[in-house]
Every structure is written in C-alpha cells, then in structure tokens.
Amino acid sequence: MSTQSAQSITGPRPIRKLLVANRGEIAERVIRSARAMDIATVAVHSDPDTDALFVDAADEAVLLPGAASSDTYLRADLIVAAALATGADAIHPGYGFLSENADFARSCAEAGLTFVGPPVEAIEAMGSKIAAKELMAKAGVPVLPGATIDDTDEVDAAAVTAMADEIGYPLLVKAAFGGGGRGMRIVRADADVVEAVTGARREAASSFGNGTVFLERFVENPRHIEVQIFGDTHGTVVHLFERECSIQRRYQKIIEEAPSSAVDEELRAQLGDAAVAAGAAIGYTGAGTVEFVMAPTGEFFFLEVNTRLQVEHPVTEEITGLDLVALQIQVAEGEPLPVEALEATIAGHAVEARLYAEDPAADYLPGSGTLQRFHVPALPGVRVDTGVRDGSVVGTNYDPMLAKVIAHGRTRTEAVRKLARALAEAQIHGLVTNRDLLVAILREPEFLAGATDTGYLTRHEPAALVGVPGKEIVAVHVLAAAVAAQASRRAGARVQRPVPTGWRNVASASQHAEYRIGETDIDLTYRFTRDGVEARLDGIPLAGLAVLDARPDRVDLRVDGVRRTVHVHQVGETVYCDSVLGGTTLIERPRLPEPGTDAAPGSLLAPMPGTVIRVVAEQGQHVEAGAVIAVFEAMKMEHSVRAPVAGTVSELSVHVGQTVESGEIVAVITDEEAA
C-alpha cells in the first residue's frame, strides 16, 4: 500500500495563517478544516463574491477587484500579494483555478509561502497529459495509444486524418492542459476529425490558454475509476482506495461513490499498486488522484494525474474516516503521514451527488440568478458541502455547482437511498437545477444494480429518467399555491383576520387562478363550501378535496382522499411548492398582461447571459432547421443558438464580442413554409 522514494526530509514548519486561493464550497471546506486545526484563515474574493458564504467563514478577506476569473482567481500576483499583506504563511489552492499551476506554486515558494500541494516538479510532470502518459508508460502503468497536435502546429487535414487512422476509431480529442470536459470531442469517422480538432483547440485555448490537444484511442462506455493517493515529504506514498466516477455529463462527473461496485480485492490491489507507482514516479507529496478508464473486461488504462484535491474527495473521507484537507496541511507542514492514513481501511459505502444550477432538459444549459432558498434536510449520515445559502447570486463567471450532497451507509444500497431521500426533500428555489435528474438516477434499477459506466446518460435520456409532472402533483401543488396565496392575503387583512381562509357565510362565486408550469398553462377555479372545497383544474373536477390547514407557507390538504402537506414559498409571481410528490415551480399568470412584452414570431433568444464568440449566419441567408446561427460563451463553455426551423435570417442582432443577457433577441428566422 506504500512505497519509499529518495526524497529529502523536510523539518516541521507549522502553519499559523492560511490563505485559501479559491471560492465557493471548496474554499468553505478548506476553511472549516483549518479552523479545527487552530489555523487562522484568509479568503480572497471577486466583486460578485463579496457576500459569499466562504468570505463570511474566513477570519479575514481580501478583495480581488473584478468579476472574470482572469482578473481575480487566476491572478497569481494578486493572491501572493494578499497573502503577504495579511501575514499568511501558506496558501491552499483548492481545486480548479491555480491549483495545478506550476508557476503559481513556484511564486509561492519564492515569496516564502508554503504551497499546500505537491512539489513544482510533480505539477510540471503532470501538467502536460502527453508528457504524463510517456512518464507513466516508463513507470509500468498501462496507457492508451495516442498522438499530439501542438498549439503552434497548423491543422493539416490530411496529416490529422492519417494520424487518426493510425490510432483507430473511435478516438478522443482532448485538451492537453486542462480538464472538466472542456476542449474534448469524441470522433467516430474521418469526416469529423478535422472539425473536432479545430473546435477542441479553440475551446482549450479559451479555457486554459493553450490550444495543444492530443488524440487518443477511445474506450467505449468504460468505467471511470480513480485512486486517491497521498504522499509526504519523508518519501512515503500510499493509496486510499478507489472511487467510481462513471456517471458523467459533458465529460464532467455528477455522481461519485467509494468504493466501486465493480472492483474486487484483487483488482483493488492492482489499481492501488499502479497509482502508487505513478505517485512514486513523480516524487508526489500531498493529495493527488490517479485516474483510469476501465474496459468491461476489467483492463484499466492511465488517464491522468490530478495534482490537487478532487471535488469528490468527501466520499473517500466518509469511508476512511480521514480528513483529507487536514492531511494536506499536515504534510505541507512537514509531518509524516499518520498511522491512520498508512493503515486505512474501508468502512461502508459513500455516494456523492453534484447539485448544479443547470437544465438537463436543455442540454445541461447552465443557469444564473438568485437562489431564493437552499435547504437540504439534515438526515443521519448525510453531509452537505456548499458555498451557497438563501439569497446567494449564481452568476455566469464561474462553475454553476451549488453543492455536493454526500451520504454514507453500511452498504451501497443504504447510502444511495439516504442520498435520494435527502435530495428529494431538498428545497432549492430560484434556479433550475439537476436535482430531479440526480434523484431519478439514484432510484433507477440499472444504477441500483451497480451497472454504471460513462455511457449511462447516453442510454438513459434525462427527459426519460425525470419524466414530466403528473396530474397528481399538478393538482395538489396548484391547489396548495392558490390556497396559500389566499391565506397570505387573509393574514394581511385589516379586518376579520381570524376568519378562516375562503370562508363565506353565503355561498359565493368560484375564485379563479392561472399558473404556468414550464410551457403549460393551468387554469384553476375553486370555492369553499360548508362541506369543504370544490375545485376544477382545466375544467375537470377534483374529487375528495379538503383543506385541513392553510398558512402562507404551508398547506395541509386532502386530494382524492389522500392527505399531504405542501410547503409553499412565493417570490413575486413565482410559487415554489414542495411535498412528498416532489418540487414544482409555478408562475402565477397576470390577468392583464402588459402589451408588447412578447418577442416577434421566429425570434431566437439567448438562453442565458454570455459573450458572443462567433456569428455563423448572415442576415438574409437561408438556413436549415438546426443550423448554428451564433455561438456564445458562458461559464467557460460554448453554447450554440440554432435555427428551430428552416427559413431566412430576417434579423441578426448580435456581433462578436457582444455581451448578451438572458432572453435577449439573437436573431429572427422567418419560416418560409409558414409564409
């Protein structure tokens, strides 16, 4: 489980004040462990993050003026200056941003600051995925065949095609200096390889500052298995078992677990030995992860080494009982790995779900806006790592992850069930999220059987997993919303406030409410009688109704003989309803809408705020259905606006470099058939 390498032994150097060079949940997570170790903390933050949870959690904070990552969290000079100005003696980089930047680690050392991470040499060795593969092959770690196209090379179509043919299809085009699915394409035929390389280079250059890509043989529907390693400055490298990270969308993980249901003790030993060999080959210290792809046959191949703490590190913490952030700090202080790390064992099973502000039904389009409510129930064995709270603003400058929800149980089944229940009962209002998709996956038979691989969300379409709101949930939540609104008005009444909601001495005409769920309009008429309540939903009578208790934020009612409690949260015209049936967002329809608020027919609207990076179509041009009109960048990803029908581009309202807001008109397509 461990190996010794020839390294100089560094004496203890206690850390007294730690600057966290990151944001969001990982910044708050690092601060939490540092506080438990009696280490003072400093946060750095951008303008949009001024009121963020992690800023409040730190003892001190320094503003990095601006909003874009390039002006703030990627400014190594400003971060080092902040550390020196506050008297910090160490910097923890978290994950992402500068965490795997060798120049930043070097700058910390030159400034006399301890970098809580691996040596500069280890980061440099793994900074290029190409060089990393070569090094791993020499160390005896299994690797896949591939080829490289340098940032400075011209894209020669014939040469690229020949290179791809030699590797064989399907193949993967991947950014050499980055991760998170950016700059990555799967290619299955000669006809697509040049376009894939060009697009991947452009995205890699934009996200990582270097457009170098490499081509690699793609293993169809493999499992994504990674091994947590830890090294200290005394020459010891150990592994802390594997994690299964196969449930992915856009090459980014959304559900992770430890241990893997596909790994037995023999395979676990092989994976661990390979990971330790990888760590030893680069003289690794601190927390790192060796990632592998595993074929259905059980063969595994080196993917990369992440020279930092992983997003999914909590599942390893839950099954080992170790605090990996505390271990990072202890190693950075020069302490040897403790016996509990050297002799770690697996206890139970842990599963983590990444909760994102994104719409799975719209190709995982990231969302932005104000988080009106964020509450995950405190169930036994459930942990929430988050950087948001009620009122947090989710912008377009950073990753849209809201939280990681982790459950630990004696068995995989127990852990999965706990996590599904916690997510199902969560109240997340103000943003579209992937919560329903996560719950659907956790309850799906194939997932429950442990049959997971990277093709899972290809076989299981998000829309099919989640489905559409059934009549039952619509009836219950729409009625609850209307009754809660009436209770709110009653609570604000100046006279006869104690009179029960909806009560009339003489039977009156029905009351009317209109709501919208997604693109569907719902019409509700209801009235209270001496015997209860009568209601019609889109003209169809609802049976077995009774309102047992009605408050502005909570309605206890019976529909079709079944009693349920619905929690209601209204913000403006938006009503959020949560019950055992799930969560529903209703838009209260105004009875007299303002004129001129609708866009012209055929208008293509920006689905979220972003910057236009390409305009493909021209005004007056004929386009086919699905043709790309413009491409904009938001949250470090490219998003295409496509023509919904064949027609003529009668208006083109954007240009390259323009910043657009959500709902802004990008173009107008005149439907030739309709005309």
DSSP labels for 139-151?
TT--B--EEEE-T
The answer to whether the CB of 239 falls within 8 A of the CB of 227 is yes
Angle, alpha carbons 383-385-388 (nearest 5°): 130
Give the domain range for residue 307.
223-466
Nearest alpha carbon to residue 118 among 328, 366, 382: 328
The verdict on 557 and 524 lying in the same domain is yes
Domain count, the chain: 5
> Structure tokens of 449?
């059987």
DSSP SS3 for 351: strand
Q: Are residues 518 and 562 in the same domain?
A: yes
> Does some domain include residue 595?
no
Distance of CA 638 to the CA centre of its chain: 16
Residue 604 backbone dihedrals phi, psi, to 5 degrees: -100, 125
CA–CA dist 655, 660 (Å, integer) = 10
Are 212 and 242 found together in one domain? no
Whether 135 is in a domain gets the answer no
Tokens 């982790």 belong to: 406
Q: Which of 434, 405, 400 is nearest to 421 (CA)?
A: 405
Last residue of a domain, one of 449, 466, 483: 466
Task: Classify strands 114-115 and 427-429 as parallel, antiparallel or unpaired.
Answer: unpaired
The CATH code of the domain that includes 633 is: 2.40.50.100
The answer to whether residue 490 is catalytic is no
Residue 593 covered by a domain: no
Q: Is the pTM of this model over 0.85?
A: no
pLDDT at position 380, please?
97
Q: Output helix, strand, coil percentages for the chain, rounded to the nearest 5.
A: 30, 35, 40
User: Strand pairing of 574-579 and 582-588?
Assistant: antiparallel
The answer to whether residue 138 sits within a structural domain is no
The CATH number that applies at residue 91 is 3.40.50.20
Task: Indicate which residue of 75, 308, 354, 435 is catalytic.
Answer: 308
What pLDDT score does 608 carry?
73
- 435-442 and 412-425 helices cross at what angle (nearest 10)? 150
- Residue 551 included in any domain: yes
3-state secondary structure 462-529: HHHHHCCCCHHHHHHHHHHHHHHHHHHHHHCCCCCCCCCCCCCCCCCCCEEEEEEECCEEEEEEEEEE
Alpha helices in 313-431 (DSSP H): 313-320, 324-332, 339-342, 412-425
Residues 42 and 172 occupy one common structural domain: no
Q: Are residues 398 and 262 in the same domain?
A: yes
Are 459 and 475 found together in one domain? no
| 3-class state of residue 554 by DSSP | strand
CA–CA distance, 116 with 37 (Å, rounded to integer): 15
Same-domain check for residues 207 and 301: no
CATH at 281: 3.30.470.20
Pair (153, 204) in one structural domain: yes
Helix H or strand E segment including 41: strand 40-45
The CATH number of whichever domain residue 169 belongs to comes to 3.30.1490.20
Dist CA 112 CA 115 (whole Å): 9
Which of 217, 249, 277 is the last residue in one of the domains? 217
CB-CB contact of 599 with 669 (8 Å): no
For residues 266 and 388, membership in a common domain is answered with yes
Residue that the structure tokens 């619905």 belong to: 566
Per-residue confidence (pLDDT) for residue 283, from 0 to 100: 95
- Identify the CATH number of the domain in which residue 491 sits: 3.30.700.30
Residue 7: its pLDDT value, please? 39
Mean pLDDT per block of 10 residues along the chain (675 residues) reads 44 90 98 98 98 98 96 98 98 97 97 97 87 91 88 87 90 81 85 91 82 88 96 97 95 96 97 97 97 93 95 98 98 98 98 96 90 97 98 93 98 98 97 96 97 93 88 94 91 57 56 89 89 89 93 95 96 95 90 52 76 87 86 74 85 86 83 58
Read off the amino acid at residue 47: D
Q: In the structure encoding, which two tokens stand for residue 124, read together?
A: 């440099």
Q: Are residues 249 and 184 in the same domain?
A: no
Same domain, 72 and 149: no
pLDDT of residue 599: 58
Ramachandran assignment for 539, one of left (phi > 0), alpha (psi -120 to 50 degrees), beta (any other)? left
The answer to the question of residue 129 being in a domain is no
Residue 456 and residue 396 share a domain: yes
The two structure tokens encoding residue 194: 């040049």
Q: Which of 158, 189, 217 is the last residue of a domain?
A: 217
